[in-house]
Amino acid sequence: MTASVFDTLDTPVPDAILGLAAQFRADTRPGRIDLGVGVFRDEAGRTPVMRAVKAAEARLLEQQDSKSYLGLEGDMGFVERMAPIVFGTAHGLGDRLQGLQTAGGTGALRAALDLVARANPKARVWVGLPTWANHRPLILSAGLEVAPMPFFDQASQTVDVGAMLEALSAARPGDAVILQGCCHNPTGAVLEPADWDALATIVADRGLLPIMDLAYQGLGDGLEADAASTRLMAARVPALLIAYSCDKNFGVYRDRVGALWVIGTNAAEAARARAHALAAVRTMWSMPPDHGAAAIRLILEDAALTADWRAELDSMRSRIVEVRRALAAAHPLLAPLGRQTGMFSLLPVDAPVVERLKTAHAIYAVPPGRINVAGLRVDQVETFAQALARAI
Ligand SMILES: Cc1ncc(COP(=O)(O)O)c(C=O)c1O
């Protein structure tokens, strides 16, 4: 047999989360707990379709009379209805703000990074560590260089804004920096308004391009509070990209709903940048998937459905806060989790402890210790804390 062109692909592609999920499925121990999942779970351990989404989908089924292409930019009604939720009802950005629908938050990030590469092929993309596992591959896929900076210390559970600012003081004009707007994945770490202020100042002073990654709006401190950092940046810097995911806050994960917004110094610049983002999109998914974005548009066009979505999102958020409070009270090591936000935290333990949690207690966390707090029911928190106490 002749050699295959794939023979050179001899390096395995590890995926910590998929590997862990397979191990969890194979584990038959009663009481096993999966904290590796990346999705919201309710108290019954389900990831339900939200009520407003179900209602909008029924309407969509009835009303939709064509599945013809919408265009590279997707459903602009969806994009326009999302903008006030993200930027506020009185953002005053006018045509400096221009958006497009994307295939999820991942698609928005990839389109943003391709846009950066078109604007400045030599740009480095600064990212605080640890961060969401897909940031680095996304930066590399766009042909850009990753510039890591310190962000969070797992053992002490502290954010080092000073180290971030010092790293960024070495950034070159035209470099980009990815900043998670809320509910940091994987740490849950919170930046204070003064920290965002200092970041906005250095970004503006050094001519950097921030990419706000907003994937969990509404799951931290609420829709308004979770958008505060993005709004602060939008008010303070001349140019900004916002990569947004609706997959978590509308629970439409597999429908792949996201948006990319470009803010430029003026309308013409924003329009030019948006056109380049669309050109990048053309070579990836071309036209984004429609269903989820159309359902979300229908929700946002209807006051009652919007109110129901907000109420259900808030009850999801409350559940996360409740589990966090219970965790913080259950063991001194877990106290910092009560001050953190969103679904994820990085346990202040080392690798052998994470391994022992799995092997001795059937509790699955993603190495080096990321847990999804929504993977726990409140009545499991005590069991979890006792297992942790035995594993450390
Ligand atoms: C920080 C962060 N950004 C972006 C995304 C992308 O979300 P989506 O599923 O919409 O692509 C995720 C998903 O896990 C995330 O954690």
Which pLDDT value is given to residue 306? Answer: 98
**Residue 182 alpha carbon to ligand 1 centre in Å:** 12
Lowest mean pLDDT among 10-14, 121-125, 177-181, 185-189: 10-14
65 in active site: no
Task: Identify whether the C-beta of residue 79 lies closer than 8 Å to the C-beta of residue 73.
Answer: yes
Lowest mean pLDDT among 12-16, 50-54, 143-147, 253-257: 12-16
Q: What is the mean pLDDT of residues 17-26?
A: 88
The band of 1, judged by pLDDT with boundaries at 50, 70 and 90, is low
Which pLDDT value is given to residue 99? Answer: 98
258 lines ligand 1 (CB under 6 A): yes
Give residue-wise pLDDT tens across range 340-358.
Answer: 999 999 999 999 999 999 9
* Statement: residue 270 has pLDDT above 90: yes
Reported in sequence order, the residue ranges of 74-168 that DSSP labels E, i.e. its strands, are 97-103, 124-129, 145-150, 152-153, 158-159
Task: Identify whether the C-beta of residue 183 lies closer than 8 Å to the C-beta of residue 176.
Answer: no
Which pLDDT value is given to residue 4? Answer: 86
Both tokens of residue 166? 């010092």
Give residue-wise pLDDT tens across range 44-65.
Answer: 999 999 999 999 999 999 999 9
Q: Which domains does the chain have, with CATH numbers?
A: 14-49+305-391 (3.90.1150.10), 69-301 (3.40.640.10)
132 in active site: yes
More confident of the two residues 10 and 351? 351
The band of 336, judged by pLDDT with boundaries at 50, 70 and 90, is very high
3-state secondary structure of 30: coil
3-state secondary structure of 34: strand
Point out the catalytic residue in the list 126, 132, 261, 309: 132
By the 10 Å C-beta count (0-12 exposed, 13-18 middle, 19+ buried), 64 is classed as exposed
225 in active site: no
Question: Cα separation of 17 and 185, whole Å?
Answer: 13
* Statement: residue 183 has pLDDT above 70: yes
Q: Please state, rounded to an integer, the average pLDDT across all residues of the chain.
A: 96
As a whole-number percent, the residues of the chain with pLDDT over 70 amount to 100
Atom of ligand 1 nearest to the CA of 253: 9
CA angle 373/85/272 to nearest 5° reads: 115
Task: Identify whether the C-beta of residue 99 lies closer than 8 Å to the C-beta of residue 240.
Answer: no
* Statement: residue 190 has pLDDT above 80: yes
122 in active site: no
Give residue-wise pLDDT tens across range 90-106.
Answer: 999 999 999 999 999 99
Atom of ligand 1 nearest to the CA of 213: 3
Q: What is the mean pLDDT of residues 181-194?
A: 98
* C-alpha distances out from residue 61 to 57, 101, 138, 194, Å: 6, 21, 35, 47
CB neighbours (10 Å) of residue 347?
A: 24
* Statement: residue 390 has pLDDT above 90: yes
Task: Identify whether the C-beta of residue 93 lies closer than 8 Å to the C-beta of residue 263.
Answer: yes
Point out the catalytic residue in the list 111, 215, 326, 391: 215
Question: Cα separation of 288 and 293, whole Å?
Answer: 9
187 lines ligand 1 (CB under 6 A): no
**Residue 62 alpha carbon to ligand 1 centre in Å:** 31
40 lines ligand 1 (CB under 6 A): no
* Statement: residue 18 has pLDDT above 80: no
Q: What is the DSSP letter of 238?
A: S
Which pLDDT value is given to residue 15? Answer: 73
Q: What is the mean pLDDT of residues 119-128?
A: 98
